[in-house]
Structure formats: structure tokens, C-alpha cells
């Protein structure tokens, strides 16, 4: 449903116009023009007749609303479109009109048109995922060694680096780029099988026409028509849903880090963005909100499209029809989420000092694992665990820093030494392999030739 109020919230990438009536109609007409030329090239009828048909394959010549009103009678808009095209051609060349849509079926028209539209959309997903990857790579390199709290179960765990968090997002995004490249050959293929997938109306020339048609449209030619086999579109829907999960995870982490009590990040705030209608002090994570709003709609839509794979025999009953609105909506939502997140991360404000202060919120408890490992070497596993657990309880109940509690234990001080005990509470000294993980992801990013970034 088109909405001037709500479409701008979710279609930040401008995907919706690609699936507008005129665009979809033209894609169907592109199929008809290419079909006529392919059949003429195979000697089924004259080239001049094919060109007459092709000249009338322009969406602007047709009454889209009238085609829509007539569509319920046949169950799809291709039938009235072919009737209208045939009438227009017949008005100037009755002989040529006999060959309009010859040997094809409605599903050939609509499926191939869908593939053509997805191929037009494909560069947007390629370019925007590449741009987002570049932003993540640059920021991961810049914050390779920036300490922050790692959170598990929404609680402070141990130190990590902001670069490591960003590198994790980048690593997942690169896998999605790989998946997109892998599915191209399976998705961008012709649908042409005629009435029941045999091209019987074209006789022995069917395969030759299919080859010419695929070539004319710049699509791959499958070994067999796929009317009843919807895995190609389902695979793409699955990719969209998986990408939405990846983007939604980023947006959710970002929003949590923007909470007032955390305050480590902020969305770009120009133009009063993020304001509240009643609370002027607010700076809401509105972009993350919209990304999450979009991504939470995607799983159900993708699941509905997967349900359409249950097709009956050679051509299905209703499942194919259900795809027509679901797939465009998926593309709009995921494309919009991708654009919003790209913009947000490009202008993201990072408060490094706040990250450092948050590491101290638990009065040293965030460094308990580091102390425990050192104590295991000094006291043994069981004794170290028991002594440290007691010290953590005292620190919490008495409101004291864990280092202070441990420093009051003569045995711990004697075993570790005051200098080592103090050093154990430096978060920068307990980052583990976080910086190395960042380097590994950035190295793979650079090896792909998608950009240059370095720590």
C-alpha cells in the first residue's frame, strides 16, 4: 500500500519506484518485445512483424488502471496486457498481431519481468553493502585499540575494543556480500516454458527461441523452466532476511550504546534529528529505530515467501500470486534499512572517554577474570575461585573497588605483588586477541580488493 506518510520512513534507498506499476509493466513489455525478436530470428515469422510488436511495447501506451481492473478475470495482469498489446498491434498490422506472445504463458511474462527488476535492483545492494563495509573497515581500523566494555546478557563482562565490535559487524557483512555474488547465476535467469513448461507450441524451435530470448534480455538460460520451482526467489528472499538480521543486530547494538546511562555513541544530530515532540532534551536513535522497525517485518514476509514454494504440479495455485507483493516489500524494507544504517555509521559520534569511564562503573569487577587467571597461577584453581568470589561479594556489598579489597589481603599481595595487582586492573592490558581479530578481518577486507584500511 502506497503511503505518502509512511513510505519515506522505510524506503530510504528509493527502491519502491522500481516496483511501481509503470516499471513492472515495462518489464513485462520488455519480455514481449524480446520474445518477438527471438522468434523472428529463429524464422517463425518475419523480422518486420517482430519490430512492429516491439514498437508497441512501451508502458506509456497502455492504461495501467484498465489492465488492473481486468486482471481478476484471468488471475493475473499479464493476460489483459497481452490482449491490449495484441489490439494495438492489430490496429496497424493484423498479420503481426497473430504473433504477439506466441508460445509463451502469463507466468513466463511475470516471472521474467520480476527477474529483470531484481537485476536492476542488484547494483544498489552491491554498492550499498560495499559502502557500508568501507565505513565499518575505516572505523574498525581507527578504533582497533579503543577499550570498551564487552557485554553479555546485557551485563558488563570483560574489556574488548570498539574496533573488535565493528570488525564483527564487518565480518558478517562480507559474508553477505559473498552470498549475494553466489546467488546471481541462479537468480538472474529466464523463465520461458509455455503452457506447462514444454514449449510445445514452438515445436523443435523451442530451445533455440529460449536461447535467443535469454540472450536478448541479458539473462541466463536455465536447463528447464522453473514455473513450479520457486527456490530461486526464495533464496533471494532468504538473503534479504539474513541481511536484515545482520543490519538489525548492528542497529540494536548501536541503540543500546546510545542509551543515556551508557552514552558511548550518538547518531548524527544535524537538523534537530532525534528530537522529541514534547521533550526538547531528547536525542533519540531514530535511524536505528527505523532500521529495527524495518528488520522486524522482514522475517515474517520472508517466511511467507518460503511458504509459496509449495507449488502444485507444473504450475501452482495461488503460491505464485502471493509473491507479487511480498518480494517488492522485502526489497523496499531491506534496501531502506541498509541506506539508513550506512548514513548513520558514516556520521556516528563516538565518545571514547565515556567508553573508558564505563569500564570503571563496576569498581574493578569487570577485571575479575583477569585477576582470577593470575590467582590460579598463584593459588591454584579452586582456592583462587573461592577467594576471588568472596572478594567480589565484599566489593559489591561494601561499595569498594575490587582492587582495594584484594590489596587488603596479605596473601594475595604477597603472591601477586602490588605492581602486578595494580596492572591487572588496566583494561588495556586485558584485551586478549581483540586487536588481532580486527587485523584479521581488515586483512581479508583488503584482500578482496574492496578498499584500503589499516590499523
pLDDT digit string (tens) for 247-293? Answer: 999 999 999 999 999 999 999 977 656 555 555 566 788 999 999 99
Task: Copy the grid coordinates of residue 13.
Answer: 534507498
Whether the per-residue pLDDT at 242 is higher than 90: the answer is yes
Spot the catalytic one: 3, 98, 273, 276: 276
Task: Copy the grid coordinates of residue 282.
Answer: 531528547
CATH 1.10.40.30 fits 365-424, yes or no: yes
Instruction: Please enumerate in sequence order all residues whose Cβ is within 8 A of that of 354, keeping only pairs 6 or more positions apart, or say none.
Output: 262, 263, 264
Q: What is the distance between the terminal CA atoms of the chain, rounded to a whole angstrom? A: 47
Mean pLDDT of 30-50: 97
Q: Which of the four CATH numbers 1.10.1660.10, 1.10.275.10, 1.10.287.3510, 1.20.1050.10 does domain 14-104+200-219 have?
A: 1.10.275.10
Q: Nearest Cα to 115, choosing from 54, 187, 51?
A: 187
pLDDT digit string (tens) for 119-135? Answer: 999 999 999 999 999 99
Q: How many other C-beta atoms are found inside a 10 Å radius of the C-beta of residue 280?
A: 8
Mean pLDDT of 362-366: 95
Q: Nearest Cα to 32, choosing from 115, 91, 87, 106?
A: 106
Give the start-to-end residue ranges of the domains of the chain.
14-104+200-219, 106-189+226-359+432-455, 365-424
DSSP H/E element including 217: helix 206-217
pLDDT of amino acid 279: 53
Mean pLDDT of 419-448: 95
Whether the per-residue pLDDT at 378 is higher than 90: the answer is no
Place of cell 505518502: 4
Query: Which carries the bigger pLDDT value, residue 319 or residue 99?
Result: 99
pLDDT of amino acid 2: 75
Spot the catalytic one: 177, 315, 387, 403: 315
Whether the per-residue pLDDT at 297 is higher than 80: the answer is yes
pLDDT of amino acid 455: 34
Provide CATH code, domain 106-189+226-359+432-455: 1.20.200.10
For this structure, is 315 an active site residue?
Answer: yes
Cα angle 187, 191, 195 (rounded to 5 degrees) comes to 150
Mean pLDDT of 83-94: 97
* pLDDT-derived band at 377, boundaries 50, 70, 90: confident
* pLDDT-derived band at 175, boundaries 50, 70, 90: very high
Place of cell 581500523: 141
Instruction: Please enumerate in sequence order all residues whose Cβ is within 8 A of that of 181, keeping only pairs 6 or more positions apart, or say none.
Output: none
Mean pLDDT of 313-327: 92
Task: Copy the grid coordinates of residue 113.
Answer: 519481468
- On whether the CB atoms of residues 187 and 8 are closer than 8 A, the answer is no
pLDDT of amino acid 452: 47
Backbone angles phi, psi at 311, to 5 degrees: -100, 150
Task: Copy the grid coordinates of residue 127.
Answer: 554498492
Report CA Rg, the chain. Answer: 30
Instruction: Please enumerate in sequence order all residues whose Cβ is within 8 A of that of 82, keeping only pairs 6 or more positions apart, or say none.
Output: 32, 100, 101, 106, 109
Q: Across the chain, what does the average pLDDT equal?
A: 93
Mean pLDDT of 196-208: 95
* pLDDT-derived band at 43, boundaries 50, 70, 90: very high
67-81, 353-367, 376-390: range with lowest mean pLDDT: 376-390
Instruction: Please enumerate in sequence order all residues whose Cβ is within 8 A of that of 167, keeping only pairs 6 or more positions apart, or say none.
Output: 136, 140, 437, 438, 441, 442
* pLDDT-derived band at 384, boundaries 50, 70, 90: confident
Amino acid at each position: 500500500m502506497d503511503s505518502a506518510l509512511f513510505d519515506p520512513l522505510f524506503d530510504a534507498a528509493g527502491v519502491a519506484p522500481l516496483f511501481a506499476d509503470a516499471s513492472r509493466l515495462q518489464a513485462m513489455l520488455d519480455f514481449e518485445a524480446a520474445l518477438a525478436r527471438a522468434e523472428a530470428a529463429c524464422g517463425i515469422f518475419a523480422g518486420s512483424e517482430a519490430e512492429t510488436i516491439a514498437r508497441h511495447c512501451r508502458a506509456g501506451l497502455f492504461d495501467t488502471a484498465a489492465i488492473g481492473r481486468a486482471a481478476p478475470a484471468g488471475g493475473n495482469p499479464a493476460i489483459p496486457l497481452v490482449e491490449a498489446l495484441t489490439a494495438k498491434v492489430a490496429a496497424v498490422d493484423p498479420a503481426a498481431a497473430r504473433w504477439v506472445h506466441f508460445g509463451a504463458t502469463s507466468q513466463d511474462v511475470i516471472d521474467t519481468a520480476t527477474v529483470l527488476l531484481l537485476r536492476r535492483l542488484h547494483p544498489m545492494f552491491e554498492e550499498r553493502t560495499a559502502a557500508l563495509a568501507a565505513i565499518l573497515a575505516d572505523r574498525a581500523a581507527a578504533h582497533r585499540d579503543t577499550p570498551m566494555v564487552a557485554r553479555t546478557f546485557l551485563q558488563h563482562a570483560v574489556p574488548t575494543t570498539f574496533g573488535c565490535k565493528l570488525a564483527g559487524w564487518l565480518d558478517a557483512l562480507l559474508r553477505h556480500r559473498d552470498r549475494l555474488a553466489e546467488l546471481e547465476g541462479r537468480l538472474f535467469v529466464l523463465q520461458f516454458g509455455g503452457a506447462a513448461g514444454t514449449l510445445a507450441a514452438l515445436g523443435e524451435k523451442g530451445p533455440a527461441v529460449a536461447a535467443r530470448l535469454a540472450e536478448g534480455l541479458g539473462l541466463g538460460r536455465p536447463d528447464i523452466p522453473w514455473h513450479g520451482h520457486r527456490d530461486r526467489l526464495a533464496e533471494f528472499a532468504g538473503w534479504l532476511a539474513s541481511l536484515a538480521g545482520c543490519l538489525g543486530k548492528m542497529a540494536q547494538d548501536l541503540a543500546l550504546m546510545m542509551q543515556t546511562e551508557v552514552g558511548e555513541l550518538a547518531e548524527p544530530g544535524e537538523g534537530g534529528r532525534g528530537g522529541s515532540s514534547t521533550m526538547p532534551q531528547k536525542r533519540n536513535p531514530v535511524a536505528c529505530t527505523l532500521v529495527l522497525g524495518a528488520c522486524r517485518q522482514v522475517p515474517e514476509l520472508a517466511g511467507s515467501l518460503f511458504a509459496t514454494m509449495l507449488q502444485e504440479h507444473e504450475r501452482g495455485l495461488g503460491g505464485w500470486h502471493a509473491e507479487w507483493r511480498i518480494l517488492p516489500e522485502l526489497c523496499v524494507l531491506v534496501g531502506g534499512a541498509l541506506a539508513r544504517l550506512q548514513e548513520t555509521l558514516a556520521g556516528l559520534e563516538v565518545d571514547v572517554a565515556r567508553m573508558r569511564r564505563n569500564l570503571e562503573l563496576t569498581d574493578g569487577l569487570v577485571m575479575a577474570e583477569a585477576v582470577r587467571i593470575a590467582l590460579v597461577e598463584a593459588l591454584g584453581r579452586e582456592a583462587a575461585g573461592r577467594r576471588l568470589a568472596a572478594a567480589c561479594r565484599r566489593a559489591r556489598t561494601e561499595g569498594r573497588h575490587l582492587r582495594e579489597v584484594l590489596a587488603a589481603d596479605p596473601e594475595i599481595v604477597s603472591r601477586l605483588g602490588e605492581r602486578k595487582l595494580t596492572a591487572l586492573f588496566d583494561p588495556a592490558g586485558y584485551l586478549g586477541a581483540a586487536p588481532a581479530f580486527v587485523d584479521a578481518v581488515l586483512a581479508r577486507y583488503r584482500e578482496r580488493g574492496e578498499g584500503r584500511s589499516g590499523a
